[in-house]
Amino acid sequence: MSKSVYFQGGTLVLRDVGEEEQPPAPFRLIRERWRCEGYHYGPLLPELREQSIRDTVPRWQTLDLKLQEKREPHDYQVAALAAWDQADRRGSIVLPTGAGKTFIALQAIHHTKRSTVVIAPTIDLLHQWYARLVNAFATEVGVYYGGEKKVLPLTVTTYHSAGDLMADYGNTFKLIIFDEVHHLPAPSWGEAALMAPAPMRLGLTATYPEPHEQTNGRWSLDDLIGPIVYTKRIEDLVGQQLAHYRTQRLRVDLTPTERTQYDADHAIYIDFVRSQRLPQRYGPGWLMELMRLSALDPQARRAMLARQRLVRMLGGCEGKLAALEGLLHEYGDQQILIFTEQNAVVYDIARRYLVPAITHETHAAERKQILEGFQARRYRAIVTSRVLNEGVDVPEAKVAIVLGGTAGAREYVQRLGRVLRKVENKQAVLIEIIARKTLDEGKAQRRRPQESKTTSTDDGGKE
Amino acid sequence: MLTADLVRPRVRSRGSELSVQMLDTHDSFWLQTAQDLIALLQQHQGQSLAAWHDLLEAYEGDRVDYLVVRGLAKVLSDAATFTPLTTPLIPSQLRERLFAYGPVFAAPQHLFERQARYEVIQQEATELSLLPEQLETTLFADRPATYTLTDVGPAWTPEGLLARYNLELARGVLYWASQVQIEVHSNYKDLWKYLKFFKLMFWARTHNDGYLIDLDGPISPFVSATTRYGRQFAAFLPALMLCDQWRMAATVHPPQLQPGVYRLDHSLPLVSHFKRSGPFDSRLEANFAQEFEEKFGGERGQWLLSREDEVLLLGETVMIPDFALTHKRSGHRILIELVGFWHPDYLRRKVEKVRAAQCQHLLLLVYEGVNLSADALQDVPGEVLYFKHKPVLQDVMAAVKAIDARVYGPPVKKSRKRNADDPAPKKSRKRSVDDPAPKKSRSKKKQEN
């Protein structure tokens, strides 16, 4: 009988190796089988060879990839890639958002020419990677997440779905790219990295976790991905890549009817929150507490509903929509992004002004078509409820209009500011529309971007 | 299945024990709620999903039990069907055409030489030979919100809906389960099928006349609190309720709560909606059983034929022979497996299992037409008998007697319990095809005690 090792559900299992034998260290005897996590595969290879254990793990392929993108990499991108190569193609590259991490990843895939899976934090980013890979290599690309599950030698997935992908197809990828790798220590997010046998691993992030955050007791980034192989700070890159942008805040009034409704709902809501002293008693998580109480206490339930009504109203109040229309007129010849967190408002705007919408309902193909149409200036505006988060590529946007008042909007303002890129040295503008004397204002205060060096805030322009 | 947010608030923790708050299916208040929702759905036929959500929101009003209302509604809508409208052209294609004009406004915009919205719609409608209204309804007709209710699903009774909701709650708790242990004592035939169907990894051993089965997955030993397999456990749970006597203990890690043990057993009024399989898997088996009863059954027969009453534990898988013959006096047991007209892959796996079982008192009845050479069956421990059209019962009984003599020796008085005590000596390990690692048959005795 010949000893061998095979891949099963995220683990490596030895075949025909007896209980009395002593296979390499990570293997543990579990229910009569020697088994260990997939990620040991690379480091284990020499020992397996030594013990004449035949390797039946890999199902990955050599790919004939041609990089269609002719753009020359920046010096720091070349250096980053070389550092990763030297580290046996394991480890993380730390670069500020907007510095072209995706481009480095494409180069890495092109260099290695092996079956690769990219793991992204959100479905939005998955879609973006999908589009980039299709364009870069002019080849079919697999997509694996809740809605679509198609596995190909180049595949994109999310951290959420990566575990399932690895359980079933872990041994079909030789290279894994972990986008926003700082998410990895999160309890369920690291499982994919743990289960995958892929010997080549590339982590990408702008914010590498502090040492105490790199491990969660079960795994550390170092074990799963390798060390940091290259770092460049934001100060080193300003002017070279990142855009300057300015923010404006546009304040609008509620109509008298809206005002009456707002005041009534606000009273119901705030009276309960104050009487229960929720923020004082529960700290930042007090809204969760309100939600919990709303399933027990009729007053809490009414407060919650009142809050829901006023948030809904603020999202699509007449003043904001009128201001939006004004801005669409004003910037009619520019590429515009419109953000609001409420799906219903997105589709209202899309229908009213005949502009494409991106929401969680938008499928990969149409999403790609919309973003490309936007880039080609066939579409002048996009309205979206998605926080085109963490480095989403919208280089053409010169104007971003945010219908404020929600947590999503806050995130959007912060993120988008970082990704508006400098094209032809023109400055991008980010306009936030908020309703006067409402919850919006309190939020807007907290949300003031702290971008220091790369941004300048101009608050007064549009009163 | 319910979404986690509809389950989690109903999970309670008490010491190391977890429970989920179920509904009393006789409570008139809940029966009324169930009745209301069933009626609402029935009246909703032909209307949109968005309107269904509005209707539910209105029905909820400011009720604090809104999570229950939503849970019941989820059970209803999961079993119902909402269908997209048929449109004169594909909505995404229409969008691609229309959105190239945007942003447009109610009035034409001369500065940027842009038409008014109504002009765009009119122009495109003419070009597509459609009416402007058709364009408006087509524009987002592929959004699920616009789908209309075409099938309300099964005829729910209020009690039935409450019971099903309770079952879904129990399943929901398992979303956060890292591992599950079950104990079954009778009527467990379907259990094994469903375990395989839901691709669960299991480890079974005999226990108090039944089985103790651990469920988890390959990565579980390395990530102790993984909830990776929770959805599979949840999907599987109704299969457990097909057994008459069962118990379950799951280690559960619900968010924001201390991990704990969630227990369920057959005394709870939970009803499975899974189907029990029929007594026979094939005509061949049915005929065999019938012929046996006619010729060798009844009072005067020496052997008692039973259907799939014994499980051969093969570590991570099991084999359940089609029939068992029990000698009325000696209690000797002979197992019979019918190998009929099957796909070659299935046959290969079957043979591997038979080998792995290392079972001396097994009789294989093999259809000659199948592509299974005598070679393949050479080192199978039991006996093999070939047949052309159907097994010849005379020959079968002769073989049974031969096995009886070979395995149990000349008749002596001795009581046998079950096959776990099979006297067959342990042989060298064999490899099976469906699961390539070495596996051993009934070697778990040490662990049992």
Burial A222-233 (b: 16+ CB within 10 A, else e): ebbbbebbbebe
Using the Cβ of B103 and the Cβ atoms of chain A, whether some distance falls under 8 Å is answered with: yes
Residue A62 maps to a domain? no
Whether B304 and B325 have beta carbons less than 8 Å apart is answered as yes
Do A289 and A330 belong together in one domain?
A: no
| Residue A16 to residue B439, Cβ atoms within 8 A | no
CB contact under 8 A, B99 and A329: no
Residue A60 placed within a domain: no
Interchain CB contacts (distance < 8 Å): A and B? 131
Asked if residue A200 and residue A189 are part of one domain, the reply reads yes
A66 in helix, strand or coil?
A: coil
Contact (CB<8Å) A28/B221? yes
Judged against a pLDDT cut of 70, whether residue B435 lies above it is answered with no
Q: What is the pLDDT of residues B101-128, one digit of tens each?
A: 989 888 876 666 678 899 999 999 999 9
Residue entry with tokens 């109040």: A317
pLDDT at A230: 93
Of the two residues B299 and A459, the one the predictor is more confident about is: B299
At residue B444, does pLDDT exceed 60?
A: no
B255/A contact by beta carbon, under 8 A: no
A196-218 pLDDT, tens digit each: 999 999 999 888 877 777 776 67
Assigned token pair, B171: 């399943």
Assigned token pair, B85:
């409208």
- The pLDDT confidence band at residue A363, using thresholds 50, 70 and 90, is confident
Question: Phi, psi (5° rounding) for residue B152?
Answer: -80, 0
Which pLDDT value is given to residue B356? Answer: 73
Task: Indicate if A333 and A439 belong to the same structural domain.
Answer: yes
* Judgement on whether residues A367 and A432 belong to the same structural domain of the protein: yes
Q: What is the pLDDT of residue B353?
A: 74
User: Phi/psi of residue A142, each to 5°?
Assistant: -80, 150
Query: B144 to chain A: which residues are within 8 Å by CB?
Result: 361
Contact B144 A361 (CB under 8 A): yes
- Kindly list the domain boundaries of chain B, sorted by start residue: 4-81+155-265, 91-141, 283-448
Q: Are B441 and B357 in contact (CB under 8 A)?
A: yes
Angle at which helices B66-79 and B158-173 cross, to 10°: 100
pLDDT grade for A187, boundaries at 50, 70 and 90: confident
B109: chain A residues, CB-CB within 8 Å: 329, 332
State how far the Cα of B41 lies from the Cα of A168, in Å rounded to an integer.
39
Query: Rounded to the nearest 5°, which phi and psi values hold at B78?
Result: -60, -35
A301:B63 CB<8 A: yes
CB contact under 8 A, A333 and B431: no
Shortest distance between the Cα of B209 and any Cα of chain A, in A, equals: 22
Closest chain B residue to A378, measured at CA: B100
Contact (CB, 8 A) for B176 and B254: yes
Residue of B nearest to A13 (CA): B437
In a domain, A463, yes or no: no
| Helix, strand or coil, per DSSP, at residue B151 | strand
Model pLDDT, residue A218: 74
Which of B57, B64, B253, B444 should we substitute to test contact with A (largest number of A Cβ atoms within 10 Å)?
B64
Query: A25 vs chain B: nearest CA distance in angstroms?
Result: 14
| CB-count burial class (<10 Å; 0-12, 13-18, 19+) for A281 | exposed
Q: Which of the residue ranges A374-383, A451-460, B44-53, B349-358 would you say has the lowest mean pLDDT? A: A451-460
Q: Residue A434 — φ and ψ, nearest 5°? A: -130, 155
Count how many Cα atoms sit within 13 Å of the Cα of residue B269 in the half-sphere of its side chain.
11
Least confident of A264-278, B135-149, B289-303: B289-303
pLDDT of res. B53: 95
- Mean pLDDT score of chain A: 83
pLDDT of residue B387: 81
Q: Quick one: A121 exposed, middle or buried, by C-beta within 10 A (0-12, 13-18, 19+)?
A: buried
State the smallest CA–CA distance between residue B228 and chain A in angstroms. Answer: 8
User: Which of A221-225, A363-367, B328-332 is the least confident region?
Assistant: A363-367
Q: What pLDDT shows up at residue A425? A: 40
The per-residue pLDDT for B371 is 62
| DSSP annotation string for A427-442 | PEEEEEEEETTSHHHH
Looking at the fold, whether A292 and A327 belong to one and the same domain comes out as no
Nearest CA in chain B to A291: B9
pLDDT band at A461 (very low <50, low <70, confident <90, very high): very low
**In Å, how far from its chain's centre is CA B375?**
36
Smallest Cβ–Cβ distance between B95 and the set A305, A356, A361 belongs to A356
Say if residue A160 is in the same domain as residue A171.
yes
How many domains does the structure of chain A reveal?
4
In a domain, A209, yes or no: yes
Residue A68 lies in a domain: no
User: Which residue in B104, B222, B438 is closest to A16 by CB distance?
Assistant: B438
Contacts of A381 in chain B (CB under 8 A): 102-103
Interface touch B438/A15, C-beta < 8 Å = yes
Task: Tell me how close the Cα of B111 comes to any Cα of chain A, in angstroms.
Answer: 9
Q: Do A379 and B439 touch (CB under 8 A)?
A: no
Closest partner residue to A351 (CB to CB) among B139, B203, B431 is B139
Do residues A135 and A230 share a domain? Answer: yes
Q: Give the closest of A31, A350, A361 to B315, CB-based.
A: A31
Q: Which pLDDT score, from 0 to 100, does residue B108 have? A: 76
Give the gap in angstroms from C-alpha B155 to the nearest C-alpha of chain A. 30
Shortest CA distance from A16: residue in chain B: B438
Longest dimension (CA), chain B: 108
Q: Which of A32, A295, A381 sits opposite B103 (nearest CB)?
A: A381
Q: How far is B399 from chain A (nearest CA, A)?
A: 34
Residue A354 has its nearest CB partner, among B103, B228, B431, at B103
Q: What is the pLDDT of residue A260?
A: 95
Residue A329 lies in a domain: yes
Q: Report the pLDDT averaged over residues B140-160.
A: 93
pLDDT range class, residue A447, cuts 50, 70, 90: very low
- Length of chain B counted residue by residue: 449
**Inter-chain CB proximity B99 and A379 less than 8 Å:** yes
A442 and A329 together in one domain? yes
Sign of CA dihedral B263, B268, B273, B274: positive
> Is A288's pLDDT higher than 70?
yes
Query: First-to-last CA distance in chain A?
Result: 81
Q: How many CB atoms lie within 10 A of CB B379?
A: 9
Task: Name which of B67, B117, B201 is nearest A295 (Cβ-Cβ).
Answer: B67
> Are A353 and B105 in contact (CB < 8 Å)?
yes
Whole-number Å distance between alpha carbons of A297 and B63: 9
Model confidence over B63-86: pLDDT tens digits? 999 999 999 999 999 999 999 988
Q: Do A9 and B218 touch (CB under 8 A)?
A: yes
The CATH number assigned to the domain holding A413 equals: 3.40.50.300
**pLDDT reading at B438 higher than 70:** no
DSSP class of residue A236 equals G
Tell me what pLDDT residue A71 has: 73
The verdict on B114 touching A (C-beta cutoff 8 Å) is: yes
* Cα-to-chain-centroid distance, residue A237: 22
Task: Give me the pLDDT at residue B383, please.
Answer: 78
Q: How many CB atoms lie within 10 A of CB A311?
A: 19
Per-residue model confidence (pLDDT) at position B405 = 86
Q: pLDDT tens digits, residue range B349-362?
A: 777 777 777 778 88
Whole-number Å distance between alpha carbons of A177 and B220? 24
How many alpha carbons lie under 13 Å from residue A288 in its C-beta half-sphere?
9
- Chain-chain contact of A353 with B104 (C-beta, under 8 angstroms): yes
* Mean predicted confidence (pLDDT) in B229-233: 91
Say yes or no to pLDDT of A458 above 50.
no
pLDDT of B260 reads: 95
More reliable by pLDDT, B339 or A47: A47
Please report which confidence band the pLDDT of residue B404 belongs to, taking 50, 70 and 90 as the band edges: confident
Question: What confidence tier does B418 reach under pLDDT thresholds 50, 70, 90?
Answer: very low
B4 CB within 8 Å of a chain A CB: no
Residue B429 has pLDDT above 50, yes or no: no
CA nearest to B430 within chain A: A16
Q: Please report whether residue A63 resides in a domain.
A: no
Domain that holds residue A302: 256-314
Q: Which positions in chain B touch A13 (Cβ < 8 Å)?
A: 218, 437
Residues 6 or more apart whose CB falls under 8 angstroms from that of B112 comprise A332, A333
pLDDT at B446: 35
* Shortest Cα distance, chain A CAs vs residue B64, angstroms: 5
B positions 311-350 inside 8 Å of A (CB): 315-316
Q: What is the pLDDT of residue A418?
A: 52
Q: How confident is the model at residue A412 (pLDDT cuts 50, 70, 90)?
A: low
Domain membership flag for residue A180: yes
Is the full-model pTM beyond 0.90?
no
Could you tell me the two tokens for B414? 């001795």
Mean pLDDT (chain B) is 82
Rounded CA-CA distance A56/A229 in Å is 30
Q: Give the gap in angstroms from C-alpha A205 to the nearest C-alpha of chain B.
A: 25
Indicate if A298 and A372 belong to the same structural domain: no
DSSP letters spanning B232-268? HHHHHHHHHTTSSEEEEEEEE--TTS--EEEEEETTS
pLDDT tens by residue, A125-143: 888 888 889 888 989 999 9
Tell me the C-alpha distance between A90 and A225, whole Å.
6
